[in-house]
Amino acid sequence: MFMGEYQHNIDAKGRIIIPAKFRQDLGDKLVVTRGMDGCLFGYPMSEWEKVEQKIDTLPVNKKDARYFTRFFFSAAVECEFDKQGRINIPATLRDYAKIEKKCVVVGVSNRFEIWSDDRWNDFSHDAEENFNEIAENMIDF
C-alpha cells in the first residue's frame, strides 16, 4: 500500500527520486502514465496488469471508452530505477502534469501520484476546504 506525501525535485533530465518506502513495493519496474486531475499515476507491474484487464473490458463501440483508453495507454511508459532510486519521466508526461522542478509524490493505496508542486497545493487547499462535504456525499464512508 502506498501512502504519504513527499516533496521532491525533478532534475533537468526528467529524473525523480521515488521514496524508498515506495520502492520496496514497486520491484524493479513500474508504469507511469497520465492520471486524472492533472497528475501522473504510477503503478507497480502487478497493479498495472489489473488496470489493463479492467480497461480491456470497456466496450470499444463507446466513444468515451475509446478516448479514455487511447489517452491513458498512449502516454504509459515502463520505468526502471537507476542506482539512486530515480526514474525518468518523459517530457510528454512532464508537460501534461506541468512538472518543471518542484513536485510532490503522493501515495494513494494501490498506486502513487506525481504532482507539480503548484497543482498539488491547489488541490490540497480545495480538498481541505471541502473535505467534510466530500466525505458526507460518499456512500458508506
Q: Residue 28 pLDDT > 70, yes or no? A: yes
Q: Could you give the dihedral angle defined by the CA atoms of residues 84, 88, 93 and 98, in that order, rounded to the nearest 10 degrees?
A: 50
Q: Where are the domains of the chain?
A: 2-137
What pTM, to 2 d.p., does this model score?
0.92
Whole-number mean pLDDT of the chain?
94
Q: Does domain 2-137 have CATH number 3.40.1550.20?
A: yes
Residue whose C-alpha cell reads 497528475 in the numeric block: 39
**DSSP SS3 for 69:** helix
In sequence order, the 6+-apart residues with CB closer than 8 A to the CB of 137 are none
Average pLDDT over residues 88-103: 97
Q: Which residues pair with 79 in a beta bridge?
A: 30
- Tens digit of each residue's pLDDT (9 = 90 or more) over 39-56: 999 999 999 999 999 999
Question: pLDDT tens digits for 75-85?
Answer: 999 999 999 99
Residue 38 has pLDDT above 90, yes or no: yes
